[in-house]
Amino acid sequence: AQSVAQPEDQVNVAEGNPLTVKCTYSVSGNPYLFWYVQYPNRGLQFLLKYITGDNLVKGSYGFEAEFNKSQTSFHLKKPSALVSDSALYFCAVREGSGGGSYIPTFGRGTSLIVHP
């Protein structure tokens, strides 16, 4: 079985400050991890993914995420937040390497609010 936890319903940060949106996961084998962003009344947009290789993954709009196997975490980060980053962020996981379900499991989402 696979699962994702996003422990924070909402994250507030001032514009220009660094931001972190937390995600922890559970899978039986090697994880494939994804971050998506959703703006109001829109579909989800892909931000970045971790499959293998470097633990620090860089994605769209200046976002990055760090894969930490020992802590089973994949936190989303950005060095300097923008007001336009305010949106709903979803972490997703699926078991990679041909094992398990190829359907990813999504976290419940974290609302990021960046204050001017």
Nearest distance from C-beta of residue 52 to another protein, angstroms: 8
* Burial (0-12, 13-18, 19+ Cβ within 10 Å), 77: middle
Query: Which of 11, 13, 25, 36 touches another protein by CB under 8 A?
Result: 36
Q: Are 89 and 107 in contact (CB under 8 A)?
A: no
105: part of which helix (H) or strand (E)?
A: strand 105-106
What is the C-alpha to C-alpha distance for residues 63 and 74, in angstroms, rounded to an integer?
12
Q: Does 43 bind another protein (CB under 8 A)?
A: yes
Is 18 or 108 the residue whose CB approaches another protein more closely? 108
What is the C-alpha to C-alpha distance for residues 105 and 94, in angstroms, rounded to an integer?
6
Q: Does 100 bind another protein (CB under 8 A)?
A: no
Nearest distance from C-beta of residue 71 to another protein, angstroms: 22
Query: Which of 23, 24, 32, 87 touches another protein by CB under 8 A?
Result: 32
Nearest distance from C-beta of residue 87 to another protein, angstroms: 12
3-state secondary structure at position 95: strand
Residues lying near another protein in the complex (CB under 8 A): 32, 34, 36, 41-46, 49, 51-52, 88, 90, 92, 94, 96, 102-104, 106-109, 111
